[in-house]
Amino acid sequence: MPDTSQQRHAVLAKEILRHDQAYYVEAQPAVSDQEYDRLYRELLALEAVHPELRTPDSPSQRVGGEPIDGFETIRHTVPMMSLDNTYSQEEVREFVDRVQKLLPGELLEWFVEPKADGIAIGLRFEYGLFTSGITRGDGIAGDDVTANLRTVRSIPLRLNELGQADTPEVLEVRGEVVMTRSGFEKLNHERADAGEPLFANPRNATAGSLKQLDSALVAKRPLDIVLYGSGEIVGGPAIDSQSDLLDVLGQVGFRTPQNTWRCSSVDEVLDAIDELDRVRGGFDYDTDGAVIKLNSFSQRERIGATAKAPRWAMAYKYAPEQAQTRLNAITVQVGRTGTLTPVAELEPVFLDGSTISRATLHNEEEIARKDIRVGDTVIIEKRGDVIPGLIGVVKEERPAGAEPFEMQSATGSRCPECDGEIRKDESFVAWRCINTQCPAQAAQRLEHFAARTALDIECLGDIVSDKLVERGLASEPLDLFSLSVEQLGPLNLGTDDEPRVFGEKNATKLVESLALARGMGLDRWLFALAIPEMGRTTASSLAKFHDNLQAVAGSPLLCEVIALDEKVAETVRINPRSRKNRPNSDIDKAGRERLYTSLVSEIRDSLGRLESLCFAKITKENGDHPPNYTTEVGPSVARSVLDWFASETGCATLECLAKLGIDPQGGRPSGGGVFAGKRFVITGTLPTMSRDEAKEKIEANGGKTTGSISNKTDYLLAGEQAGLKLAKAKSLGVTILDEVKFLKRIGE
Ligand code: IVH
């Protein structure tokens, strides 16, 4: 590579980073958008020719990279604790008194900061280079979301050098990732236009964005960071207080909160809290309180922390905001599983930083309980990450003639999405659309089919599923097998005005994973087909006992479970010794006794057969009454499975699978396996398997998994970041297997 290319790249990178800082950190753009784009395009062109210039701190790394399969869990070098919080000013006084008692006679300086309402993260810089970003997780370990955080423009990829002092060898800064309010409104508008579900608030949108596996998508989300603390620090300038910390963070290139207060008495603290409440509505990010902390780090160290929170800080939370507005209409939304949810359409009202025009009403009973009627003046409230809730009605302002809400009259007893029949099951409060062809449900089935624990189809999430249904490309999972890369590549996931194509690369991945799915086992397929009541465990046990789908469809075992259940029900009904059934005459009694005895003996025979096949187990003998028992699959699931296979959908599915040449295979019960009867606990992150996959393998080899270690545990399957469980297993002498040893044992 010519030196000049390298030099030019360095000049461009520096220039772009300087402009990023001016724009995103200092809010004072130094060049026009066109000039910025020109520099950026030149940088990309150079990197295209010389890929080695694409270093982790190059501005090109802001646009995100390849999608990943999942996040790694990483341990925090210094645990990320939480804060004690209160809504009461009196408790703030008590807190200040408490700290003063712990530091008798010392002068205390308090630092009051906004409490940002986002997602806590730690950012690690090594020798100035941004190396990792981890979510709080459980405080001990969190998700590695580095790739996603690289796209946040206000996070420097390399720290500015400090004038006098050296750049720290390690600097971990902590803060909240937030979504700007303005960006959030825009994002939700775009989602509404694209028919995508809206985020309830900026915090949820932030959490959703950080969880994205595709950082290129995150790059398009208006994320920002608000810093407030530090984790591990090695080397660099002396940082002795919160004010020092924020100064240094400002110097190395972060934006630091503008509104902070240094206070020397509790009254000043309370004034600062009030003032913050007055100004925070103007911030471009959500806040839900003030954090009061000791400024001095040495004083902090001396008073330390309780098990969960530091003694030197406290969060004061502002009371959630409420607003009153008019309920213009109640519309009905169809959820992905067919559930009908009433939604309040409100006269738009500004509440806690954003405009609210909808609120969920949960279900018909909830509306009746709160007596909510169209035309009412209603009180809405936003609290934390809860979707704005409608908490009550101002009855005095109810207009004459306002009618109570009824789902049936509101919908004309038809599904608003597909005009299909709606029904309300006895045991549920919700109405459901029972049309299996309903587009809202079709999309849900595609997504389920693709889930990791089902057939693990890549690039088929909720948005793609919705679009495939909407564009008429697929309404049933098996339709996917007739789609080609050419058909899928141009699929528009965005809107007509702002198209976002699925792309050939993603389409290829999808098609390739479908090809892999063809060879997956019967258990995965049984689960993937979205058969009512078929969970992962049922699918696994059915797959153990049946060779293929046809065998499940006509399963003698399932028929026997149902027959058994019916016989037991019959014995209850006719039991001559039960007070309720007492027969009227002796003849009647003798007949019943005979019938009863013969039913009990049929039940025993049947159970004997099922027991010898390991499909049932008698749990309690009851003399000459039917014994208590359990079966691998219960009668209600058995009915649901057989019904589905006999239904039009089930028959069509089997026929279609046969045409596609797909014939998933099950395995006979081995009754043995290398881990027969052994108890496993799984902990930590396994290098190549998910926990579900490990569990499956354990069960396929005769073992069982449980949640916690005891002296009954035989093996601990331990991945990376195995914490307490590993220590406990060692102390109890439990055999510890890593993934490699485990796979070796099962011959994989
Ligand atoms: S100090 C040892 N300062 O609020 C924990 N936290 O409810 C020190 N938060 O876990 C945290 N703004 O995620 C601190 N200015 C601020 C904050 C802040 C938001 C978050 C943080 C914390 C949570 C507690």
Whole-number Å distance between alpha carbons of 55 and 65: 13
Q: If you measure from the C-alpha of residue 199 to the centroid of ligand 1, how many angstroms do you get, rounded to a whole number?
A: 23
Domains and CATH numbers, the chain: 3-61 (1.10.287.610), 73-317 (3.30.470.30), 321-433 (2.40.50.140), 439-517 (1.10.150.20), 519-668 (no CATH), 679-745 (3.40.50.10190)
Q: Phi-psi category of 337—alpha, beta or left, where left has phi over 0 and alpha has psi -120 to 50?
A: alpha
Whole-number Å distance between alpha carbons of 423 and 401: 28
Q: If you measure from the C-alpha of residue 115 to the centroid of ligand 1, how many angstroms do you get, rounded to a whole number?
A: 6
Whole-number Å distance between alpha carbons of 170 and 89: 38
* CB-defined site of ligand 1, < 6 Å: 81-83, 85, 113, 115-116, 120, 176, 228-229, 291, 310, 313, 315
Q: Whose CA is nearest to atom 3 of ligand 1?
A: 228
Q: Tell me the whole-structure pTM to 2 decimals.
A: 0.52
**Bigger pLDDT: 148 vs 194:** 148
Q: Residue holding tokens 């027991």? A: 611
Q: Which of 183-197, 285-299, 407-421, 469-483 shows the lowest per-residue confidence on average (mean pLDDT)? A: 183-197
Q: Quick: pLDDT tens for 413-461.
A: 999 989 999 998 665 677 889 887 898 889 888 999 998 878 999 999 8
Number of C-alpha atoms within 13 angstroms, CB side, residue 268? Answer: 11
- Give the number of the atom of ligand 1 that is nearest the alpha carbon of residue 81: 2
The continuous run of DSSP H or E covering 208 comes out as helix 202-210
Q: If you measure from the C-alpha of residue 179 to the centroid of ligand 1, how many angstroms do you get, rounded to a whole number?
A: 16
- By most ligand atoms within 8 Å of CB, the mutation choice from 84, 95, 176 for ligand 1 is 176
* 385 has a pLDDT exceeding 50: no
Q: If you measure from the C-alpha of residue 100 to the centroid of ligand 1, how many angstroms do you get, rounded to a whole number?
A: 21
Q: Quick: pLDDT tens for 254-270.
A: 988 889 999 999 999 99
* 701 has a pLDDT exceeding 80: no
The continuous run of DSSP H or E covering 3 comes out as helix 3-20
Q: Which of 148-157, 340-349, 494-503, 581-590 shows the lowest per-residue confidence on average (mean pLDDT)? A: 581-590
Q: If you measure from the C-alpha of residue 82 to the centroid of ligand 1, how many angstroms do you get, rounded to a whole number?
A: 7
Q: If you measure from the C-alpha of residue 116 to the centroid of ligand 1, how many angstroms do you get, rounded to a whole number?
A: 8
Whole-number Å distance between alpha carbons of 618 and 568: 14
Amino acid at 407: M
What is the dihedral sign for C-alpha 588, 593, 598, 604? Answer: positive
Instruction: Decide if 394 contacts 327 (C-beta within 8 A).
Output: no
Three-state SS at 481: helix
Q: Which of 190-204, 329-343, 353-367, 466-480 shows the lowest per-residue confidence on average (mean pLDDT)? A: 190-204
pLDDT at residue 462, as a whole number: 86
Number of C-alpha atoms within 13 angstroms, CB side, residue 42? Answer: 17
Whole-number Å distance between alpha carbons of 455 and 519: 10
Instruction: Classify residue 105 by its DSSP letter.
Output: T
Q: 338-371: string of b/e by CB count within 10 Å (b at 16+)? A: bbbbbebebeeeebbbbebebbbbbbbeebeebe
Instruction: Decide if 415 contacts 435 (C-beta within 8 A).
Output: yes
Which residues are CB-contacts of 136 (< 8 A; sequence separation ≥ 6)? 80, 119, 120, 121, 122, 142
Q: Which residues are catalytic?
A: 115
Whole-number Å distance between alpha carbons of 49 and 58: 15
Phi, psi at 518, each rounded to 5° = -55, -35
Q: Whose CA is nearest to atom 18 of ligand 1?
A: 115
Q: Whose CA is nearest to atom 17 of ligand 1?
A: 115
Q: Quick: pLDDT tens for 61-76.
A: 888 778 787 899 999 9
Q: To the nearest whole number, what is the mean pLDDT of the chain?
A: 89
Which residues are CB-contacts of 327 (< 8 A; sequence separation ≥ 6)? 344, 345, 346, 372, 373, 374, 375, 376, 377, 378, 390
**Token pair listed for 693:** 């996959």
SS3 readout for 564-582? HHHHHHHHHHHCCCCCCCC
Q: Residue holding tokens 């979504």? A: 179
Q: Which of 375, 344, 381 is nearest to 359 (CA)?
A: 344
Q: Whose CA is nearest to atom 2 of ligand 1?
A: 81
| 574-to-89, 612, 695 alpha-carbon distances in Å | 68, 29, 44
SS3 readout for 422-486? EEECCCCCCEEECCCCCHHHHHHHHHHHHCCCCCCCCCCCHHHHHHHHHCCCCCCHHHHHHCCHH
Q: Whose CA is nearest to atom 22 of ligand 1?
A: 82
Q: Quick: pLDDT tens for 127-144.
A: 999 999 999 988 899 999
Three-state SS at 496: coil
- Give the number of the atom of ligand 1 that is nearest the alpha carbon of residue 309: 2
pLDDT at residue 432, as a whole number: 85
Mean pLDDT of 361-367: 87
Q: Give CB contacts under 8 A, 24+ apart, made by 643-648.
A: 644/531, 644/532, 645/549, 645/552, 645/553, 645/554, 646/553
Which residues are CB-contacts of 504 (< 8 A; sequence separation ≥ 6)? 485, 489
Which residues are CB-contacts of 12 (< 8 A; sequence separation ≥ 6)? 39, 42, 43, 46
Whole-number Å distance between alpha carbons of 105 and 462: 60
Whole-number Å distance between alpha carbons of 627 and 604: 8
**Token pair listed for 462:** 């909720």
Q: Whose CA is nearest to atom 12 of ligand 1?
A: 115
Q: If you measure from the C-alpha of residue 228 to the centroid of ligand 1, how many angstroms do you get, rounded to a whole number?
A: 7
Q: Quick: pLDDT tens for 634-660.
A: 998 999 899 999 988 899 999 999 999
Instruction: Decide if 353 contacts 180 (C-beta within 8 A).
Output: no
Phi, psi at 207, each rounded to 5° = -60, -45
Amino acid at 327: L
| Angle at alpha carbon of residue 83, lines to 247 and 178, rounded to 5° | 60
- Give the number of the atom of ligand 1 that is nearest the alpha carbon of residue 305: 2
**Token pair listed for 194:** 């694209």
Whole-number Å distance between alpha carbons of 130 and 153: 13
- Give the number of the atom of ligand 1 that is nearest the alpha carbon of residue 226: 12
The continuous run of DSSP H or E covering 355 comes out as strand 354-360
Per-state percent for the chain, helix, strand, coil, to nearest 5? 40, 20, 35
Three-state SS at 727: helix
Q: If you measure from the C-alpha of residue 27 to the centroid of ligand 1, how many angstroms do you get, rounded to a whole number?
A: 25
Whole-number Å distance between alpha carbons of 594 and 600: 10
**Bigger pLDDT: 678 vs 248:** 248
Best mean pLDDT range from 42-51, 195-204, 572-581: 42-51
pLDDT at residue 748, as a whole number: 63
- By most ligand atoms within 8 Å of CB, the mutation choice from 78, 83, 227 for ligand 1 is 83
- By most ligand atoms within 8 Å of CB, the mutation choice from 113, 291, 300, 318 for ligand 1 is 291
- By most ligand atoms within 8 Å of CB, the mutation choice from 134, 203, 228 for ligand 1 is 228
